[in-house]
Amino acid sequence: MSVLEKTRAPEKPAVAREPRVTDEHGRRVRVGELVLRYVLLLAVLALTIGPFLWQLSTSLKGPTEDIYSSPPTFLPGDPTLHNYARVADTIPVWDYALNSLKVATANVVTNCVGSALAGYALARLRYRGRRVATLAFILAMLVPVEGIIIAQFTTMRELGLNNTLIGVVLPGCIGAMNVLLMRNAFLNLPYEIEEAAFVDGANAWQRFLRIALPSVKGTLAVVAIFAFMGAWDDFLWPLIVLSDPSKFTLTIGLNYLHGTFANDERLVAAGTIIAVAPLIALFACLQRYFFRGVGEGAVKG
């Protein structure tokens, strides 16, 4: 069971040679190739964010505009925020968004702390039962979640945490996948630095906090984004755990819209944009850290 160990990329050989004309780091690229690259990039761009833009455009079209026309009209003739106002009239969007934000933030904190600690224990500390612990996380990753949701709820009720936001956060608060990601990031750090600290008498906690953790900030950013996304996007679990409408999250609210106005594409479109926009904004802000995390070799396994 060593998927993650096995696929660690080989160490970069430390050969320094004069670089050639091609490749990377702002070195000159031929014009033809550059044009080709941009054309391809734009094509993929159209495929990946086109659907979101179409949704945005639909949400901005007024009630008189035909949304089924052929050929399609890409830009709303008379853009209006009317549909967004109707969403806010129908469900308390801001309250739900605040709940989603609370849940997502808590999930980010617990996942970052919990998976960093556990990942460090799996990667760096040596003790009896480490393999079993690793296996437990790998198995947890393979469990089909759809089959265990009622059993999860029963457990939560026994703990008296049903109908609380804590109950929403708890099952996913330290994701197995995130633990394995962190473990991998720690494994990829050169051991020598920590060893020096060890010789200096630093204990496990000090080594973790002062040396290991600062070197995997990027991976933490990745875990943070995954955790935020996971909590923000989840529907069925919050629905099952929560009863009190004042505690509902945004995805449940979105479902109200879909259930009540299924025939109204414009309104549903506005709802989806409300649900997705904060995530895109968050990602846009964090992407620098995120890609740095990637550079550190966080996700590569």
Query: How far is the C-alpha of 292 from the C-alpha of 100, rounded, in Å?
Result: 27
CB of 247 vs another protein, minimal distance in Å: 10
User: For residues 70 and 75, which CB has a smaller minimum distance to another protein in the complex?
Assistant: 70
Is 274 in a helix, a strand, or coil? helix
Q: Which is nearer to another protein, 63 or 81 (CB)?
A: 63
Site for another protein in 281-300 (CB under 8 A): 283-284, 287-288, 291, 294-300
Tell me the number of residues near another protein by CB under 8 A: 137
- Applying the rule CB under 8 A, the residues between 58 and 87 that interact with another protein are 58, 63, 68-72
Q: 């964010």: which residue's tokens?
A: 49
Instruction: Tell me how far CA of residue 260 lies from CA of 251, 257, 269, 282, 285, in angstroms.
Output: 14, 5, 14, 29, 34
- Cβ-based nearer residue to another protein, 30 or 98: 30
* Residue 222 CB coordination number (10 Å): 24
Binding mask 257-276 for another protein (x = CB under 8 A): xxxx-xxxx--xx--x--xx
Choose one: 76-84, 101-109, 209-217, 225-233; the region binding another protein (CB under 8 A).
Answer: 225-233
Please report, as residue ranges, which positions from 112 to 171 form the binding site for another protein (by CB under 8 A).
113-115, 117-118, 120-122, 124-127, 130, 133, 136-137, 139-140, 142-144, 146-155, 157, 162-163, 170-171
The least distance separating another protein from the CB of residue 99, rounded to whole angstroms, comes to 15
| Closest CB 235 distance from another protein, rounded Å | 6
Judged by CB under 8 A, the stretch of 78-86, 101-109, 196-204, 209-217 that binds another protein is 196-204
- Tell me the window of 55-63, 77-85, 101-109, 209-217 that interacts with another protein (CB under 8 A): 55-63
- 265 three-state secondary structure: helix
- CA 282/CA 255 separation, integer angstroms: 23
By the 10 Å C-beta count (0-12 exposed, 13-18 middle, 19+ buried), 173 is classed as buried
Instruction: Give the one residue of 26, 32, 201, 214 binding another protein; rule: CB under 8 A.
Output: 26
Binding to another protein (CB under 8 A): which residues in 4-23?
4, 6-10, 12-13, 15, 17, 19-20, 22-23
Q: Can you tell me the distance from the alpha carbon of 271 to that of 160, in angstroms, rounded to the nearest whole number?
A: 33
Compute the distance between CA of residue 219 and CA of residue 116 in angstroms, rounded to an integer: 9
Q: Which of residues 93-112 bind another protein (CB under 8 A)?
A: none
Taking the complex as a whole, the smallest distance from the CB of residue 228 to another protein amounts, in Å, to: 9
* Contact set for another protein, span 231-260 (CB under 8 A): 232-236, 239-240, 243-245, 251-252, 254-260
Whether the CB-CB separation of 208 and 149 falls below 8 Å is answered with no
Q: Which residue has the tokens 């109204």?
A: 264
Smallest separation (angstroms) from another protein to the CB of 171: 4
- Distance between CA atoms of residues 130 and 284, nearest Å: 38
Contact between 158 and 220 (Cβ < 8 Å)? no
| 82 CA to centre of own chain | 31
Residue 31 sits in the site that holds another protein (CB under 8 A): no
Mapped onto helix, strand or coil, the DSSP state of residue 83 is helix
